[in-house]
Structure 1
Amino acid sequence: MKTVNDIVNWLIQSGYLVAVIIFAWQEVKPVLQAKQKHAKTMQEKELLGLVNSLADNAVSSLVGVQGVTGHDKFKQATQIVGSALADKGFEVQKETVDHAVQAAYEKSALTPTVDPDEAPQTGVVVHD
């Protein structure tokens, strides 16, 4: 036991233990930073998924509302998504919410789809 104590004391007094700790920290620190960055990226990805889901729900809930302009529906959907996120404690930039609502609006039944390959109709019917 005395030999083990002597070895530990020698490691501490010689500074060798400090050098080993510094070397180990330099090797472990980049790994920890990479894990932290990956976790943050995954959290942001999940948060964007939540924002998009809320935007889809908000826009689809406004599809059947009559007597409200498209701009007012957009504002209302943005407010719904923003308040839902604030209630859950998430802080998301307004531009992100606006973009998510715009994307949901474009996918919804509120926006007519136009086939770019289809020829425009002229209103003239030709019979052969």
Structure 2
Amino acid sequence: MPDLPPSHRPAPPRKPFGNSRTAANRLTGRALQRRNARIALRDGFTCQECGRVTESGEVDHRVPLAKGGTEDDLNCQWLCAEPCHRNKTIRENGGKARLAIGPDGFPVSARIAARKGGHWDR
């Protein structure tokens, strides 16, 4: 079989999350599910920030992996998903909130996003 031109050669296989510095340290699959269940039971499904008992929480790293934290159980805590985990993530990112995305897929300014009904209702 003749050699294919460079534009038709298949790309070399990539590792998932190959651009992440912490990818090799992350738990995946069954190990991640077991760790999350273990942390939820250990903390009694109680948010470690506000004290609210909730099943719809998330496991959070006290010291983020990107800042040298580990996947160890002592570095993990149960937080409620919406207010506490989101606010902690914003604090860790230097207080920069994510931009709101409009129905057209483009970022919306905070002033327009705060309006009831969005930026389409004028």
Instruction: Identify, as 1 or 2, the structure richer in strand.
Output: 2
TM-score above 0.5, yes or no = no
Instruction: Identify, as 1 or 2, the structure richer in helix.
Output: 1
Higher relative contact order (CA closer than 8 Å, sequence separation 6+)? 1
Q: TM-score, normalised by structure 2?
A: 0.27
Specify the structure having the higher radius of gyration (Cα): 1
